[in-house]
Amino acid sequence: MSEDKKTHIATIAILVKERGTNIAEVNEILSKHADRIVSRLGVNLDRLGADGYGGLIDVVVFASIDEIRSLESELDALYGIVARAGILD
């Protein structure tokens, strides 16, 4: 199997700076990549009094490096959204 098609386990942390801003687009992107997403966890940061941060979504993915980077880039390109991937293997 070529290296670019090898699957990896990764997490992508998605910081939503303002709740409601681009969240429909975030969900659309995550739905588009649903076949690669193993789990999803959402945390409401407003409750914690974290000023300027609405929420945090953490997804675990099982995908190729290219697919992980593509998902990260699509999310990070949205206004008010910061996405960072960590490849674990």
Q: What's this model's pTM, rounded to 2 decimal places?
A: 0.89
Per-residue pLDDT reduced to its tens digit, 21-76? 888 999 999 999 999 999 999 998 878 877 778 899 999 999 999 999 999 999 99
| 63's tokens | 């995908």
- Domain extents in the chain: 3-87
Instruction: Enumerate residues 6+ apart whose C-beta is below 8 A from 39.
Output: 59, 60
| 75's tokens | 């999310």
CATH 3.30.70.1150 fits 3-87, yes or no: yes
30 vs 68: CA distance, rounded Å: 12
Write down the pLDDT at residue 4: 64
Write down the pLDDT at residue 63: 97
Q: How confident is the model at residue 1 (pLDDT cuts 50, 70, 90)?
A: very low
